[in-house]
A and B are shown apart, each in its own frame.
Chain A
Amino acid sequence: MTTHAAPRAAPPAAPRTSDAIDAWLDRLVRLVRFRPRQAREIRDELDGHLRERVRDLMLAGHDEPEAVHRAIAELGDLALLARRYREAQSTHVRRLAMHTALIALAGAGLALGAFNLSRQPEPQPATPAPIRLDALMQMATEDTTARTLLDRLRIAPYVDEDEGTISFRAVIDAESGSVPLDAAATIRLAPDAQEEGARLAADTPDLTLADFLSLLASESGARPYVYWADVEQTFLTPDSEVGRLPLEGQSVARALTMANDILGRTGQDRIDYRLDNGLMEFARSEFFDRRERRLATYDAAALLPTAEALETSAESETLINLIVTIVEPDAWQQNGGDLASIYAAGRKLFVNAPPRVHERVAWVLEELRSQDRRTGKAVGPGPADVLIPPVLGHMEGAIRQAIAEATGPWVFMLAHTPADDAARVVEAVVGGFGGQAVADPRTNSVLVAGDRTVHDLAAAVLAAMDTRKP
């Protein structure tokens, strides 16, 4: 990491405040690794904070260098602050990453159709006027009315148990009620992974966490071993109450999922288990991730056709960027994480990561290769396939919940519009809503991460942009 060298020459008094604060903010922004717009917003906000704080400290009698020093010190360790920012940013992304890992939205995405904001409602009060998308987009960048409107845009999932599909209907919750939109997309769920192991014979009584984990082990015919020192890092204790659970007939994995939900554990802090040789181990997900991390190579020859040995190409950078953006973003060293690393050498990818990350990396690469095989396939309106990796099949319930919350990341593949252009437009529109968009020029896709509003907005923008050019 490069840091700003302290100026050697004694600077005049006035700019010194700026220099110290600017240098500090520069370092923070580089550590946080946000996209430029977000980085600038954080910078501006903290800059304002520091200057105001310096002023107050000087009013309280501190001289200027001391005030600057104290104001910066109050913000705490730079790396820790950067990490908190990344965590704050990724809370919703990570929640979904845990549940669905990847939802690849192929095709034209959710064509939300066009709305007309300017028209008055039709005489029929039950069918409010449609709203024109272009007007909405323009307004969204200018005022908060349109944002409020977009806040009401929701994607409602419809689950067809028999078909094993989830389809979306977009609804806008206007004053007069919900307006179903015309287009819908369908998710095709990967087949359920086999849930190995025991099913619980009965609902549980009121249990503490320790008793609950013992019960899971004994139902699986195993002895429990809980790494309490690890589990207690998340402020759970053996006496934390899990309560009464309706678990009759449920698998052990499902039971643990419910307990994690009840205890409010998310992401890497969720309690996981390993069952081997009659021993059932319990610890945080991160604990097993670290223990099971391994190095593997992936053949990316089909995706990096021109790469030379040991050479880092723009193509390989794009590929790595794609992977670290959509697979467990927080895990990667590239994103400031410490669970996984990835490096391209020639046409091979070297990945050091926990098994579940490997599975998702493999899945992404397979999706990309199959996309290559499908080149030339027209991508038009109509139902789009969304795939959920098989590894997550057993979490269908959680997936449905996550889809109901409709977060990201999503992959939109474009047929007619260059991904770079599209990503810029999407970023401009969703940036204000905490969303991010990255182009993958090689597959001509746009990756979008964000909450439900971000997704809906991106889908609508891309559907409107990605039309055949005359």
Chain B
Amino acid sequence: MPRRADPDPNELVVLAVLAEEPLYGYAIARRVEVRSSDHVRLTPGILYPLLKRLEGEGLLTATWETVRSERSPEDADGRRRKWYRISPKGRRRLAQRIDAHREYLRAIEAFLPPGASGAEATA
């Protein structure tokens, strides 16, 4: 059945970042901010539930790591950090998301006059 993928940029962004290397939640958020020059912000209130869903769908796998404090190694206090890794299924989903997004961009592109900035085009 032909399936129109509704654009979910957050899912695309998270999968794309994790396709490069495994990261934990806070690092994902920072990576996204830096990569997009602050244009894309995954607020934690969106990010963590999203990670939970992606994990539940088998697109990500997660492992726990005990955090060691850099300043005082004895002060590990059992804190844990959850690392996410993209699964093969996640990579397939990412490819679909990218295709859908490219299609969407092409569709929008048809409305843009070549070479002109927005102000000139609408003047």
Residues of chain A whose beta carbon lies under 8 Å from any beta carbon of chain B? 41-42, 44-49, 51-53, 74-77, 80-81, 84-85, 87-89, 91-92, 144, 147, 151, 235, 241, 243, 258, 261-264, 434, 451, 453
Contact = CB atoms under 8 A, between A and B. Distances in A.
Contacts of A74: 43-45
B98 to A, nearest CB: 17
Contacts of A453: 58
A48 B55 CA distance: 18
Contact of A80 (B3, B45, B81, B82): B45
A87 B81 CA distance: 23
Interface in B31-63: 43-46, 48-50, 52-53, 55-58, 61, 63
A81 B25 contact: no
> How many B residues touch the partner, as a band?
20 to 34
Contacts of A263: 4
Contacts of A48: 24-26, 67, 79-82
Given A49-B25, A49-B44, 9 more contacts: A41-B64, A48-B26, A52-B26, A81-B48, A84-B46, A89-B56, A151-B87, A243-B4, A262-B1
Nearest to A92: B56
A91 B57 contact: yes
B61 A434 contact: no
A261 B80 CA distance: 40
Contacts of B55: 434
Given A451-B56, A451-B58, A81 B45 contact: yes
B44 A87 contact: no
Most chain A CB inside 10 Å of its own CB: which residue of B43, B53, B56, B82: B56
Interchain residue pairs A-B with the least CB separation, the first 8:
A76-B45, A88-B53, A84-B49, A88-B49, A88-B52, A434-B56, A52-B26, A45-B82
B61 A49 contact: no
B2 interface: yes
A229 B67 CA distance: 49
Contact of B49 (A51, A52, A81): A81
B45 A75 contact: yes
Contacts of A45: 25, 48, 81-82
